Structure 1
Amino acid sequence: MSTSTQIGQSSALFADVIRERRSVRVYDKSVRLSHEEIKEMLKEATLAPSSSNVQPWRFLVIETEELKEKLQPIAYNQSQVTEAAAVIAVLGDMEGYKKLGEIFGESVKRGYMTEDTAKPFVERSINTYASLPEERMHKVLHIDGGIVSQQLMLVARAHGYDTVPMAGYDEAEFKKAFNISERYVPIMLIALGKAAKPGHPTTRLPIDDITFFNEMPAN
């Protein structure tokens, strides 16, 4: 099948999901999500790619009224914090690479690769990550955390829920208030729930203004 045919047959459902996703800031406070629903959405979100398949993302689900009220001033009093069913704190694990043996051991069990292939890859990768400067590790965690966050927002929309990503919060106070150790790097907060008011439609720059083939313009 040619590439052009594959593009022409892209899923209409997926197109609906990406077009209907909005950053929603007003939520129906009566809507609550079960742990099973949240875990199912997170499970689908974690099908996202990550560097060396380390999957360094970790999720703190903040759902009780008491804890959401505790979080609200830390998040500069954004109303969606207490209105949404939950706020998902996406964190990056500085020691996530230590699970590579477990991750690739499972791949071997399932027949996705041989042990002879997996073992040296795991050893090399662990040594590489263990020697990364902190700044470089933070960059990796933010890239992987950003990817899984976007996937989570699309998954939520596919399940009929709404989200808004939040970078506006006091990171130091957040870590202190929720007992988050230095091992974990906060990436973003994502409000999750059901819109009481639709998110505003937005526009995008023309693709011809932001896409360059083979070389960048002089200015």
Structure 2
Amino acid sequence: MDTLTAIQERRSIKKYDPAFEMPEADFERLFDLVLLSPTSFNIQNWRFVVVRDPEQKKKLCEAAWNQQQVVDSCFAVLLCGDLKAWEKDPQRYWRNVPDAAQEQLVPMIKNFYEGRGEQTQRDEVMRSCGIAAQTLMLAAKAMGYDTCPMIGFDAQRVAELIALPEDHVVGMMVVVGKSIADPYPRGGQLAKSEVVLTDRFPA
């Protein structure tokens, strides 16, 4: 499936075939694509906790207020972020570029994040998770799978379940699997004229 078709056909699916298992080759391919998602300064601050174990999925389902898609999907992906990725051996993010580029870019990472505080670091993690989630959903759709992005869960309970490090946060969850029911019609798209503005908001 091409990218434009995947964008048009991707829907948030709630009902999955609990017996379906994604082939391991497809799983590896999917995450090879997800890891191409862009991040600021290439710091790759996302971390993907893939929940596949049936018992862990049940616990995650409970933390997600018993939303059945967490259990019935092939797996759930918790998109987390390392708030301090920018300061953890940052030269590795640019190890494949010429020395002159490394000497310019690596110091810029610290200069940008160090003085801007925790809110900027958190905002960056959430941006990165959002971009990666969209890559995940579109790649999955193009490969013939279905997804559902989710924020309906107890973040503290989820953090405990996955032993989230203190300098990390949970951004969102995406479940991946094979749909067994058509979604509802699209809820109601706003008019393009309302959401696409030229140059500035109207006075």
Distance in 2 (alpha carbons) for counterparts of 1:201 and 1:43: 32
Deviation per CA, 1:178-218, whole angstroms, max 9, x where unpaired? 21111211010111000011222313111112122123112
1:91 matched residue in structure 2: 80
Q: In the alignment, is the contact (CA less than 8 A) between 1:22 and 1:200 conserved in 2?
A: no
Q: Residue 157 of structure 1: CA displacement?
A: 0.1
1:138 paired residue among 122, 126, 130: 122
- Runs (4 or more) in structure 1 with deviation over 4 Å come to none
**Equivalent residue, structure 2, for 1:15:** 4
The aligned residue for residue 165 of structure 2 is 181
Give the 3-state SS of the residue equivalent to 1:87 in structure 2.
Answer: strand
Q: Residue deviations 1:125-151, cap 9 Å, x none?
A: 134323431111101110111011111
Structure 1 unpaired stretches of 5+: 1-11, 109-113
Which position in structure 2 is the counterpart of 1:51? 40
Deviation at 1:38, TM superposition (A): 2.0
So what's the TM-score if we normalise by structure 1? 0.86
Unpaired segments of 5 or more residues in structure 2?
none
Partner residue, 2:192: 207
CA contact (8 A) 1:92 1:141 kept: yes
Paired positions, count: 201
**Residue identity matched to 1:20:** E
Q: Distance in 1 between matches of 2:35 and 2:123?
A: 19
Q: Distance in 2 between matches of 1:75 and 1:116?
A: 48
Q: State the superposition RMSD in angstroms.
A: 1.5
How many angstroms apart in 1 are the aligned matches of 2:184 and 2:7? 15
CA distance in 1, matches of 2:28, 2:80: 16
Q: What is the aligned counterpart of 1:82 among 48, 71, 77?
A: 71
Bigger-Rg structure (1/2): 1
Q: Which amino acid is 1:164 matched to?
A: C
Do the aligned residues in 2 keep the contact of 1:165 with 1:190 (CA within 8 Å)?
yes
Conservation of the 8 A alpha-carbon contact between 2:45 and 2:128: yes
- Over the matched positions of the two proteins, sequence identity in percent amounts to 29
**1:60, 1:88 within 8 Å by CA — same for their partners in 2?**
yes
Question: Cα distance, 1:99 vs. partner?
Answer: 4.4
